[in-house]
C-alpha cells in the first residue's frame, strides 16, 4: 500500500529540509540515517568507557574506606588534600600518628573523629625563653662544629624535637642539655 502524502520535514542529522512520505521519517536519506546511527552508537560507547574509568578511579578510594590504618599517602587520597597539608595538621596536633618503621600511619577512627570535633586542636608544649640561661645554651655554630651537623639537619632536629630557641641579637641559642641528649 503506497502513500501519496507529502510532509515537509527537517533532517535530524544534517538539518536540511526535505519532503517525507511518512509521518515517522526523520532523516533525508539513507546516508544521513547511517551517519546518525553511527554517531549514536559511538556516543554510547564513549559514555560506557567513561563510566568504567570512573569505577576504576573510585575503587582505590572505596578500598581505603574499609582500612583501619592508613598511610599519609592513603589519607591524602581519601580526604582529597595534599600530603603536606596532612603533615601540617600533624605538626599542629590535629592528627595523631604512629610510626611503623619509617612509615607514618594514622588510625581511621582518628580521621573520622577529626570531622566530629573540627575545632578541637591539641596544643603543642611551648617552652618559655626564661626557663634557660644563655650560659646553659649552645649557639647554632657551636653545635655544628661540635657534632659535625649541617645547618639544615640541625634545624630539622630542633623542629622535630620541639627544642626551644632563644634569640639574642644575631645569634640563636639552644639548651645544651637537650642537644646533648639528642646528639650524643
Residue 173 and residue 136 in contact, taking contact as beta carbons nearer than 8 Å: no
Q: What is the pLDDT of residues 14-35, one digit of tens each?
A: 999 999 988 899 999 999 999 9
Domain carrying residue 55: 7-61
The answer to the question of residue 80 being in a domain is yes
| Any domain includes 2 | no
- pLDDT over 90 for what percent of the chain? 43
Distance of CA 117 to the CA centre of its chain: 21
Residue entry with cell 662544629: 145
pTM of the model: 0.38
Mean pLDDT for the stretch of residues 65-76: 87
Give the sheet arrangement for strand 69-71, strand by strand: 69-71, 103-107, 97-100
Minimal CA–CA distance to 180: which of 155, 151, 147? Answer: 147
Q: Is 76 in the same domain as 112?
A: yes
Share of the chain above pLDDT 70, in %: 91
pLDDT in tens, 84-133: 999 998 888 888 899 888 889 999 888 888 877 655 555 555 544 447 78
123 located within any domain: no
- CATH number of the domain at 78, please: 1.10.10
N-to-C CA span, the chain: 105
Amino acid at each position: 500500500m503506497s502513500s501519496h502524502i507529502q510532509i515537509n520535514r527537517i533532517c535530524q542529522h544534517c538539518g536540511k529540509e526535505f519532503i517525507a512520505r511518512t509521518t515517522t521519517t526523520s532523516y533525508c536519506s539513507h546516508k544521513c540515517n547511517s551517519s546518525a546511527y553511527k554517531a549514536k552508537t559511538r556516543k554510547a560507547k564513549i559514555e560506557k568507557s567513561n563510566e568504567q574509568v570512573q569505577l576504576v578511579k573510585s575503587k582505590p578510594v572505596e578500598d581505603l574506606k574499609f582500612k583501619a590504618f592508613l598511610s599519609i599517602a592513603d589519607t591524602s587520597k581519601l580526604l582529597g588534600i595534599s600530603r603536606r597539608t596532612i603533615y601540617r595538621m600533624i605538626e599542629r596536633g590535629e592528627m595523631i600518628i604512629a610510626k611503623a618503621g619509617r612509615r607514618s600511619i594514622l588510625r581511621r577512627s582518628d580521621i573520622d573523629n577529626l570531622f566530629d570535633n573540627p575545632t578541637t586542636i591539641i596544643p603543642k608544649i611551648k617552652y618559655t625563653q626564661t626557663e634557660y640561661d644563655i650560659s646553659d645554651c649552645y649557639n647554632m655554630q657551636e653545635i655544628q662544629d661540635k657534632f659535625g651537623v649541617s645547618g639544615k639537619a640541625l634545624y630539622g632536629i630542633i623542629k622535630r624535637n620541639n627544642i626551644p630557641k632563644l634569640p639574642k641579637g644575631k645569634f640563636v641559642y639552644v639548651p645544651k642539655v637537650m642537644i646533648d641528649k639528642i646528639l650524643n
